[in-house]
Chain A
């Protein structure tokens, strides 16, 4: 009997040791991230479903997100590319903080944590800038014509109206465009939850606000967590504890935020 109990306790699932060889805190951070990944997956899959449902009127992201600070004209994808770079960079500084923690290098951990926070704040600022331009939209906005057609305008090509259908563009200009504008039923500028100037479906703006907003809130909470860890590092909490595992756990969350952005970047801005 006693030998049987002994043999059982030696099995890795028999208790007394960590079968995964990680602390319970890190394991549950992983389990939380799996559940959070499922949440983001459902949001992106819902986006994909509705995009297929309204594929004929869905705007191409390359024609919507074309602003770049201090540049006059359309620069598609460059700004979100920059945001991706900022987030990847702050992921690198985070993993360098974890690495410094393994070496018990107190000063180095503090420096890399500080830079990670700066990267997170830069990303949040970029997102605020992008939301501002998305919400305010173009100078002239979009005209809803009497027959229900959706006539977009372009700040850099005044006097022209653009009709999109199935990703094909038709341009109307000159006197004919002026006539259509004069007969327009309504003019939409920018975006809100019920209508937007980019596509003839509120869903496009709804998904933009919800998905990038949900991700942005994750970045925000990640920055708050990182600031708390940073203060603890400065106060020598982990130096006294003898290890920097807490930095690893907040690092897991921070990398996850970067990981989600990689998917948002592809499925919202590129595809």
Chain B
């Protein structure tokens, strides 16, 4: 009864109450808790795999690429589920994620520079 009254008072969201007093839509997902714990297990298993494969003798460069892949895999779950970016609007997702292509470029040029500096001594 009181639950319904509360829902009528605040239909699917809330006003921020600051000077802008924007209305923010809120979609409560009843399966949210299940998704949170599933994400926790995925992150935990990925971390255990990272530590475990460090002890498996294999080609060093292959191992490093597996580490990078697992790191991006883990960060996608943290940003997408925990930080809720997966459920935000496409425009906000692109605004946040696209700038990181600059970082990919920076990694490339800086590592090439590092290798070059090593060779010239």
**Chain B interface category by residue count:** 35 or more
Identify A21's interface contact among B25, B39, B44, B67, CB under 8 A. B25
Q: Which residues of A contact B103 (CB under 8 A)?
A: 38, 41, 45
Q: Quick one: closest A residue to B118, CB to CB?
A: A53
Q: Which residues of B have CB within 8 Å of A158?
A: none
Cβ of A30 within 8 Å of any chain B Cβ, yes or no, is yes
For chain A, residues 62 to 82, give those with C-beta under 8 angstroms from any C-beta of chain B: 62, 76-78, 81
Chain A window 225-252, contacts with chain B (Cβ cutoff 8 Å), 1 for yes, 0 for no = 0000000000000000111010010011
Q: Which residues of B does A touch, CB under 8 Å? A: 6, 10, 14, 16-18, 20, 22, 24-26, 28, 32-33, 36-37, 39-40, 43-44, 47-48, 50-51, 54, 64, 67-68, 70-71, 74-75, 78-79, 81-84, 88-89, 91-92, 95-96, 99-100, 103, 106-107, 110-111, 113-115, 117-118
Residue A262 CB within 8 A of the other chain = yes
**Which segment, of A90-98, A137-145, A207-215, faces chain B?**
A90-98
CB distance from B58 to the nearest CB of A (A): 14
Q: Determine the chain B residues whose CB is within 8 A of the CB of A263 once the complex forms.
A: 71, 75
Q: CA A172 – CA B49 in complex, angstroms?
A: 35
Known contacts A23-B24, A262-B71: does B88 contact A53 (CB below 8 Å)? no
Q: Compute how far the CA of A255 lies from the CA of B67 in the bound complex, rounded to whole angstroms.
A: 20
Contact B51 A81 (CB under 8 A): yes
- A binding-site residues for B, Cβ under 8 Å: 17-25, 27, 30, 34, 37-38, 41-42, 45-46, 48-56, 62, 76-78, 81, 84-85, 88-89, 91-92, 94-96, 99, 102-104, 241-243, 245, 248, 251-252, 255-256, 258-259, 262-263, 265-267, 270-271
Return B26 CB to nearest CB of chain A, in Å: 7
How distant is the Cα of A27 from the Cα of B22 in the complex, in angstroms?
A: 12
| Interface contact B32-A102, CB-CB below 8 Å | yes
Q: Which residues of B contact A242 (CB under 8 A)?
A: 10, 14, 17
**Closest residue on chain A to residue B30 by CB atoms:** A103
